[in-house]
Amino acid sequence: MAATRTETPALAAAQTGWLLAIGFVALAPLAPHLPGWLAGATLAALVWRGWLAWRQRPLPSRWRLTLLVLAGSAGVGYQFGSLFGQNPGVALLVLFLALKQLETRTVRDGLAIVLLAYFLALAQFFYSQTIPAALATAAVAITATATLLSLTDARPAPAAQLRRAAVILGQALPFMLLLFVLFPRVQGPLWGLPKDAGSGLTGLSDSMAPGAISHLSRSDAIAFRVRFDDAMPERAQLYWRGPVLSEFDGRTWRPRRELPRATLPYAEPASGGIGYEVTLEAHGKPWLFALELPGATPELAFATLDFQLLAKAPVLARQRYLARSYPLLRAGADESPALRQQALALPAGSNPRIRRLAASWRADARSDGDVLRQAQAFFLRQGLIYTLNPPLLGEHSADEFLFDTRQGFCEHFASAFAVAMRAAGVPARVVTGYQGGEVNPVDGWLTVRQYDAHAWTEVWLAGRGWVRVDPTAISAPTRIDLDLAAAVPAGDPLPLLMRAEFSWLRDLRFRWDAVTNTWNQWVLGYTPERQRQLLQRLGMPAPDWRAMTALLAALCGIALLLLTAWILRRQRRADPLARQWEKLSRRLARRGLGRQAAEGPFDYAERVARALPAVAAEMRGLAALYARLRYAPPAADRAKTLDQLRRRVACFRP
């Protein structure tokens, strides 16, 4: 019966069950991120352990386990090419969590599993930091805590253990929030997040070859979200400027090779701007999108001579920036001749038909403005059709689009228009980015998705600078004023979310988007800057980590005190008689004569009487009164006696 101190008790059946449960629960959220064979093997190990427990068979021998560990580690090493690093590390921990189950005999082994499970709950955030991931982590934490509870006391039913674990974690919630809000934030993630964690896709690329692809991305992935400081500009003004393509080889448009610079090549106007905040999803490129035209570069960003904003590094994680744009601003009136010359370049021999036409426009025109108007009129006359599935184009893509197929989407329009303008001797370039967006009615944020990707044209007019011309708007104005769905002919396949019959899905999506956005903004996006803003609002003008740690310690202390006070208050009985007796004891405690918990009234009175003979008689009287009230048969004059006790305790001066 007497166990030695070194070995902990053997596991009860319920405890083994709990350990298996935490094994499954901790494995589940990680399984999609593990190699298939490893997920299968760990699952098999858990099932095997469950079978052994069920049939009450002995656990596998030590050398067998050693073989399994070696084989598993070798597999992980082979899979990832290393045993070190984040992915192989997580894989190894998962493997050990499963294999450790096969040698758990005592409570101490169980503790190792629980600690491993807690750690793996965090490891999940390497792969995903969404709300479902957080919920999964909470589930693991509750199960792990319940398992921990069961290791100390296996008797309560599973539901009771889970409830107790949830209550314990719930009590920790205020501290968690305090720590989250006030603990000094580290710039950047604590562990370098892997490149793949934030990798995203974009509907844009850094080159454009109209006609080379016959369908446009219909991805409804979110590109970025925008919150406007004041009212949102009208939809037709929502041109989100991205890469500017000014080099054309007859087929493909490419951006100019150019070193980014610290500021935009024009001065920010004094008034008339639109302030907004962009939360950009990761897309793996350095582009920052801003309404045309941005007034200044955001913090930690560059600009190009083409008025594009660039981040200092590819955007591998969600990024938030403030920007201010001026829709009426015209810039580049003083554009350098070299750049203007570049914007006229066309490869010799390409697109002969549009060249001939452009030459005729030039001949009739007195200014570049006249040429532009003629070109716009021509585009309108041609009856071009906006479609997401245009036919493929050959070598002279602009000619074929304008004169033969007459079907295309924004890239075709923008490219053909820029070619035509260049052919007519007007500097022109293609600007890509996004157009429009969708206001989420739930939270009022503007959501721009990948299918909002767009391309338009900029022409340079003397005295005015670069002027935006959207040839898509000429032929298919609804694409700009309404949305894609309105622009494409009936029957054209549309992105799922845009279809009318899925309006309920859209509504659901809006709500989920709003929730996700709040989570992104306030949980994932709680950066040092945001913390600083919050603290400033709380009245800490220049918080440093010392002051913040002090504040944190003070607040945690206060929270603990409140909690303790609440618990003590709950324990204290509302019994007035007990209160009088405790009052007496407190008063005597100042003389070192507090009542001991297991001391009856008369024993206490005698002890006090011996120590303080001056009050001996009164103390004995008080004890007799108290004992009568508490232990004697209830008497009619109880209230009076209690009152007497209260008065005598109040007068009692030891």
Residues that bind other proteins (CB under 8 A): 596-603, 605-606, 624, 627, 630-633
> Which residues neighbour 201 within 8 Å (Cβ) at sequence distance 6 or greater?
219, 221, 283, 284, 450
Closest CB to other proteins among residues 200, 601: 601
* Minimum CB distance to other proteins, residue 623 (Å): 9
Q: How far is the CB of 2 from other proteins (least distance, A)?
A: 9
Nearer to other proteins, 38 or 622 (CB): 622
Our CB check for other proteins shows the closer of 187 and 571 to be 571
Spatial separation of the C-alpha atoms in residues 389 and 196, rounded to whole Å: 31
Residue 113 tokens read as 């599993």
What token pair was written down for 71? 């084989």
CB 329 within 8 A of CB 269: yes
Minimum Å distance from CB 647 to other proteins? 22
Q: Smaller CB distance to other proteins: residue 199 or 596?
A: 596
Kindly state the tokens that stand for 14.
């319920």
How far apart are the C-alpha atoms of 412 and 394, rounded to whole Å?
13
C-beta of 7 vs 603, nearer to other proteins: 603
Structure tokens given for 45: 């190990």
SS3 10: strand
Tokens standing for residue 281: 């999803």
Residue 639, burial from CB neighbour count under 10 angstroms (0-12, 13-18, 19+): exposed
Minimum CB separation of residue 156 from other proteins in Å reads 15
Element (H, E) at 409: none
User: How many CA atoms lie within 13 Å of 176's alpha carbon, on the beta-carbon side?
Assistant: 8
> Active-site residue numbers?
410, 454, 470
Beta-sheet strand order (sheet of 438-439): 319-325, 274-280, 222-228, 446-449, 438-439
Q: Which residues contact 463 (CB under 8 A, 6 or more apart)?
A: 333
Q: Which two tokens stand for residue 578?
A: 């007990």
Q: Three-class SS of residue 235? A: helix
Give the nearest distance from C-beta 189 to other proteins in angstroms: 48
Shortest Cβ distance from residue 626 to other proteins (Å)? 10
Q: Which is nearer to other proteins, 628 or 646 (CB)?
A: 628
The distance of Cα 556 from the centroid of its chain, to the nearest Å, equals: 26
Beta bridge pairs of residue 468: 458
